[in-house]
Amino acid sequence: MNAVAEVLPRHHRSPDIRHMANALRMLAVDAVGQANSGHPGMPMGMAEIAVALWGRHLKHNPADPDWPDRDRFVMSNGHGSMLIYALLHLTGYDLSIDEIKRFRQFGSKTPGHPEVGVTPGVETTTGPLGQGLTNAVGMALAESLLACEFNRPGHEIVDHRTYVFVGEGCLMEGVSHEAASLAGTLKLNKLTVLYDDNGISIDGHVEGWFADDTPKRFEAYGWNVVRAVDGHDVDEVSRALQAARESERPTLICCKTVIGLGAPTMAGTHDVHGAPLPADEVEATRRALDWTHAPFEMPSSIRALWDAREAGAAAQDDWQRRMEAYRRVFPNEAAEFERRVRGALPANWRDVAHALVHDADRARQSVATRKASQIAIEGLARALPELLGGSADLTGSNLTRWKDAVDVSASPAKGNYIHFGVREFGMSAVLNGVALHRGYLPFGGTFLTFSDYSRNALRMAALMKTRTVFVFTHDSIGLGEDGPTHQPVEHAASLRMIPGLDVWRPCDSVETMQAWVSAIDRDRPSCLLLSRQTLPFVPRDEAQIDAIERGGYVLADWPSTCERDARRVVLIATGSEVALALAAIAPLKDEGILARVVSMPSTTVFDRQCNAWRERVLPEGVPRVAIEAGVTGFWRQYVGLKGGVIGIDRFGESAPASELFAHFGVTTSALVDEARRVAA
């Protein structure tokens, strides 16, 4: 007897349930077949789990995917994307059957992996395994913090849950450890994870490479674990979901399933994981499931079973009434809540931003830019109650904590500063989840070199356009004695290559303020690369201060009266090397070379400026030399083949910082030599 014959009849006592689950199966099978690409196994295996969650527990309104108090649903095993598309389609989201037919086709709302912003109802972009789960931890954290901040006795305007589907792949990934450990520590009890325990990953049966006792592992994290649930028994899954609601800890529901259940000869094998079913297997599946409808044909009776529009509208109406009651008693809080979940900045934001930058200019402080960043955070925290900070166990080094910050504690999680522990990747993906949830403006710190650990979360932030701020201190060999493992040399350049990620490497307190302001101003993620060591304050005129936000601008210029045929050179510098460039002006002048210094705190922002601005800053025909304590190849796109670049194309060394700059030749005198060469 095959798996379908064995398993299905046992649990599908109700024809309705059978129809609902099989509708998911067949949409997945047919869409993957039509695309000739995709992953049928997971949707077929998790169909009953989806019926239990989406049919009986999930609070959502298909007409308003942005309803702030909706439950969040994250499919961390994103390759099973047809499952969520089928669910969104059937429950009544704006996702037509035509879109299902265009699964994985150019410009459709049904891309290969779920993408937030593309498909209504998709909460986060998943596919890179483990990160969906980690985003969900961020969402559950945001819910808890927001509830503590805004709810009042008798007024629970924030009260929703976060549900996650995960497979073995997510649980093998290291980031699952960081996420689950943090969720357990913070006792995020509204987080429920449904584990699709089918014993199969792409290479086959997992016992040869994944022998964890996963329930025990999650108990070790302090989770509530529901073991050995039959994932094809909707009632049993539903009971576990009910039990999760009563737990004071996050819950892992371990569902035993058969991958690809419904496919008579392929269910339970890895062949069903990531490729269309062969045509004969599709037909056999139809027969086994007693599914008599043509591909993409869905009887109205089954549609009616799935339709969540009425219940969803009622749920949101009820919330809206409660929100109005809240507004009557707490009008200011209600307005603030709505601003926050809309992601809008306060009305006085422009003044705050202006003051932040200009106060720094007036203060003329020479400080490490990590210290300037802390000053920025102090100012921002006063104006932006949504600021939510943290560090991956480097608070005193990253200087990410402000004076009035409240450490986030558990039961329930509340506060606005998160000690993330040594979990760089987890932190970054949690921050993305917080940003996606809305209500907070999250940032987190670590050393720049460890941006490597979280690199794919930075990429995902850029892909999802989340407003997440990554504070990366100790930004070069300038960190000194900790040596090459801790000294980034390639990181600034390589972060700048991630499309849509803004990277700032400010040279002093004023540029640091503007970097923070720009990071908060934009609907995209930003990385702030900050020095460990003190950097001198640079005086600027008003126009220069205004120009910082353009990413690159003239910080010191040759005389406007200088002859057209004078020997001229443009020196381009970032961060700690700007002072070296400024110091080169005088010796060059002594040699009859007129130098302009361009400060380029953000190449990514500069690249987006209009041609006119870029040409004004970097006039054609004038030779250029760039200086940055990092890899040189990157700078050729600004200086050309004939220009000069002073930098470091090897790993650093353990020694005091000043010795290192001298040793690696990142010095004013090297810059002068190079400027002389190119200006010749």
Residues 416-445 that bind a second copy (CB under 8 A): 419-423, 425-426
Number of residues that bind a second copy (CB under 8 A): 111
Query: What mask, x for binding a second copy by CB under 8 A, covers residues 638 to 667?
Result: --xxx------xxx-xxxx--xx--x----
Instruction: Report 447-466 residues binding a second copy (CB under 8 A).
Output: 449-450, 452-453, 455-456, 459-460, 462-463
By CB under 8 A, residue 113 contacts a second copy: yes
Residue 507 to residue 553: CA distance in whole angstroms: 12
Query: What mask, x for binding a second copy by CB under 8 A, covers residues 583 to 622?
Result: ----------------------------------------
Among 15, 96, 98, 209, binds a second copy (CB under 8 A): 209
Choose the catalytic residue: 424, 549, 577, 628.
424
Residue placing its CB nearer to a second copy in the complex, 316 or 446: 446
Residue 127 to residue 515: CA distance in whole angstroms: 31
Residue 376 to residue 184: CA distance in whole angstroms: 32
Residue placing its CB nearer to a second copy in the complex, 391 or 574: 391
Reading the block at residue 177, the tokens are 């450890």
By CB under 8 A, residue 634 contacts a second copy: yes
Check the annotation: does 476 bind a ligand: no
Residue 174 to residue 587: CA distance in whole angstroms: 53
Coil, strand, or helix at residue 527? strand
By CB under 8 A, residue 497 contacts a second copy: yes
Question: Can you name the residues that pair with 226 across neighbouring β-strands?
Answer: 253
Own/partner long-range contacts of 8-12 (Cβ < 8 Å, ≥24 apart): 8/232, 8/261, 8/262, 8/288, 8/289, 10/232, 10/233, 11/48, 11/230, 11/232, 11/233, 11/234
Instruction: Report 275-314 residues binding a second copy (CB under 8 A).
Output: none
By CB under 8 A, residue 175 contacts a second copy: yes
Residue placing its CB nearer to a second copy in the complex, 2 or 105: 105
Buried b (16+ CB within 10 A) or exposed e, 359-371: ebbeeebebbbbb
The CA-atom distances, in angstroms, between 674 and each of 379, 572, 623, 661 are 41, 12, 11, 16
Check the annotation: does 129 bind a ligand: yes
Coil, strand, or helix at residue 191? strand
Cα radius of gyration rounded to whole Å, the chain: 28
Instruction: Report 320-349 residues binding a second copy (CB under 8 A).
Output: none
By CB under 8 A, residue 74 contacts a second copy: no
Instruction: Report 380-409 residues binding a second copy (CB under 8 A).
Output: 391, 393-397, 407, 409
Check the annotation: does 113 bind a ligand: no
Residue 91 CB, nearest approach to a second copy (Å): 22
Alpha helix (H) ranges present in 102-252?
A: 131-150, 168-172, 174-185, 214-220, 234-245
Residue 192 to residue 136: CA distance in whole angstroms: 9
Check the annotation: does 474 bind a ligand: yes
Residue placing its CB nearer to a second copy in the complex, 66 or 649: 649
Among 111, 260, 262, 478, binds a second copy (CB under 8 A): 111
By CB under 8 A, residue 40 contacts a second copy: no
Residue 32 to residue 112: CA distance in whole angstroms: 10
Instruction: Report 48-67 residues binding a second copy (CB under 8 A).
Output: none
Is the Cβ–Cβ distance between 365 and 417 less than 8 Å?
Answer: no
Check the annotation: does 203 bind a ligand: no
Tell me, yes or no, if 281 is annotated catalytic: no
Residue 197 to residue 186: CA distance in whole angstroms: 25
By CB under 8 A, residue 119 contacts a second copy: no
Check the annotation: does 177 bind a ligand: no
Reading the block at residue 600, the tokens are 């380029």
**CA distance between the termini of the chain:** 85
Among 242, 411, 637, 669, binds a second copy (CB under 8 A): 637
- Return the residue matching tokens 């954290």: 141
Residue 399 CB, nearest approach to a second copy (Å): 13
Residue 610 CB, nearest approach to a second copy (Å): 17
Task: Give the residue among 130, 166, 128, 159 at the shortest CA–CA distance from 143.
Answer: 159
Binding site per annotation, positions for Mg(2+): 168, 198, 200
Binding site per annotation, positions for thiamine diphosphate: 79, 127-129, 169, 198, 273, 450
Please list the active-site residues. Answer: 424
